[in-house]
């Protein structure tokens, strides 16, 4: 069975671990989000690709969900001692090696897809991991920073001792700054995958989709993870036209994200944080099946009315076995769809 999975970071990576357990012999291709890639200290950092690679290659810090196990942060402390930031992005001493190797290979002219393949030679994730594109796409977020934010400029209100009602500084910031530095503490007014319109799918992406038996959307962020992958021209169309079941798992359980802050970026695209609203956001033109958690069983009917086959099952990835059960449910739903 050939399975294509669109994956963001932690949610996608953990789902993939369950999927591998559920169908060890499946041929799995992962199309990874690169919209949250960032250049730091002259290095190209691909957080989502690395999270998938480290998680499936048994190199992940399980507790944090990102970065390397048994990690230290001495290099970063030294950079801070030089006054070089940003300090808010966690790059560990061991993790740095991945970014150094990647940056050197990119500088030597290899495309990101080839670099990712080379890095996976070490990690042996047991899936084929392809970045959504070899082109540069960076998700930016429009926000209004409070006047006391260090990144906010001087505002009309500063110095008067009174904060005007329309205070704050409007700014477009990198997704990582929004997500990691600000912890999504201010509303995302817009989310823009800069460069996506000009990007081409990386070699192998469209081929994998065309050859897939099943396409899965893990419980990843529907806006900044899966949404960014779908924003690369050709990918959404290829999935819609693949003629195979496309099944997703809701990242929203009981009107809140299972983890992360998906609600913050869903609001930016006018989607409420419910399992059914996310399904409708993908739409029946793309999605054939949708798993919601048992606590959201009341929404099943509404989703099915929207033309998307839906089942309510436990969706908490508490451990690999529970996640494997979710993966089996998703594949079972795909077979139901196929049988129609």
Question: Taking the complex as a whole, how short is the minimal distance between the CB of residue 101 and a copy of itself, in angstroms?
Answer: 5
Answer yes or no whether residue 58 interacts with a copy of itself by CB under 8 A.
Answer: no
Q: Does 78 bind a copy of itself (CB under 8 A)?
A: yes
Query: Is residue 96 a contact residue for a copy of itself (CB under 8 A)?
Result: yes
H helices of the chain, where?
Answer: 10-22, 47-56, 74-81, 93-107, 112-123, 175-176, 205-211, 226-230, 235-240, 262-268, 275-282, 300-305, 320-339
Specify the residue, 86 or 248, whose C-beta has the smaller distance to a copy of itself: 86
Instruction: Indicate whether 79 belongs to the interface with a copy of itself (CB under 8 A).
Output: yes
Q: Name which position in 58, 85, 87, 107 contacts a copy of itself (CB under 8 A).
A: 107
Applying CB under 8 A, among 1, 87, 88, 97 the residue interacting with a copy of itself is 97
Of the pair 75, 211, the CB lying nearest a copy of itself is at 75
Number of residues this chain uses to bind a copy of itself (CB under 8 A)? 26
- The reply on whether position 165 binds a copy of itself by CB under 8 A is no
Q: Which stretch binds a copy of itself (CB under 8 A): 10-18, 41-49, 274-282, 283-291?
A: 41-49
Residue written as token pair 């399904």:
279
Q: Three-class SS of residue 2?
A: strand
**Spatial distance between the Cα atoms of 259 and 19, rounded to a whole number of angstroms:** 19
User: In degrees rounded to 5, what are phi and psi of residue 29?
Assistant: -110, 125
Which part of the chain contacts a copy of itself (CB under 8 A), choosing from 16-24, 70-78, 128-136, 164-172?
Answer: 70-78
Residue 287: which of 308, 256, 313 has the closest Cα?
Answer: 308
Specify the residue, 17 or 76, whose C-beta has the smaller distance to a copy of itself: 76
Check the annotation: does 147 bind a ligand. no
DSSP string for residues in 126-166:
SSEEEESBSS--EEEEEEEE-TTSTTS---TTTTTTS--TT
Q: What is the DSSP letter of 198?
A: G
d(CA 61, CA 53): 12
Residues making contact with a copy of itself (CB under 8 A) = 41-43, 72, 74-79, 81-84, 93-94, 96-98, 100-101, 103-104, 107, 119, 122
Which residues carry a binding-site annotation?
50
């Amino acid at each position: 069975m050939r399975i294509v999975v669109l994956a963001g970071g932690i949610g996608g990576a953990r789902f993939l671990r369950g999927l591998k357990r559920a169908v060890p012999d499946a041929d799995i291709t992962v199309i990874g989000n690169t919209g949250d890639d960032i250049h730091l200290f002259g290095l190209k950092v691909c957080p989502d690709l690395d999270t998938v690679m480290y998680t499936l290659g048994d190199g992940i810090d399980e507790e944090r969900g990102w970065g390397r196990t048994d990690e230290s942060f001495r290099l970063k402390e030294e950079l801070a001692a030089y006054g070089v930031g940003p300090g808010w992005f966690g790059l560990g001493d061991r993790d740095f090696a991945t970014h150094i190797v990647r940056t050197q290979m990119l500088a030597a002219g290899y495309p990101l897809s080839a670099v990712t393949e080379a890095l996976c030679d070490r990690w042996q994730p047991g899936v084929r991991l392809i970045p959504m594109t070899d082109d540069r796409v960076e998700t930016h977020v429009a926000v209004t920073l409070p006047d006391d934010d260090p990144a906010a400029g001087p505002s009309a209100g500063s110095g008067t001792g009174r904060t005007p009602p329309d205070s704050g500084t409007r700014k477009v910031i990198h997704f990582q700054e929004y997500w990691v530095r600000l912890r999504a503490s201010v509303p995302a007014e817009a989310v823009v995958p800069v460069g996506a319109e000009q990007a081409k799918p990386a070699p192998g992406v469209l081929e994998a989709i065309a050859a897939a038996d099943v396409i899965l959307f893990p419980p990843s962020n529907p806006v900044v993870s899966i949404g960014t992958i779908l924003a690369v021209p050709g990918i959404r169309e290829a999935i819609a036209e693949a003629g195979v079941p496309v099944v997703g798992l809701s990242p929203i359980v009981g009107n809140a994200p299972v983890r992360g802050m998906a609600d913050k970026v869903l609001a930016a695209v006018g989607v409420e944080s419910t399992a059914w609203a996310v399904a409708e956001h993908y739409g029946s033109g793309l999605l054939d099946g949708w798993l919601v958690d048992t606590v959201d069983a009341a929404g099943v009917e509404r989703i099915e009315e929207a033309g998307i086959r839906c089942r309510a099952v436990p969706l908490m990835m508490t451990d690999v076995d529970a996640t494997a059960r979710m993966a089996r449910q998703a594949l079972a739903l795909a077979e139901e769809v196929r049988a129609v």
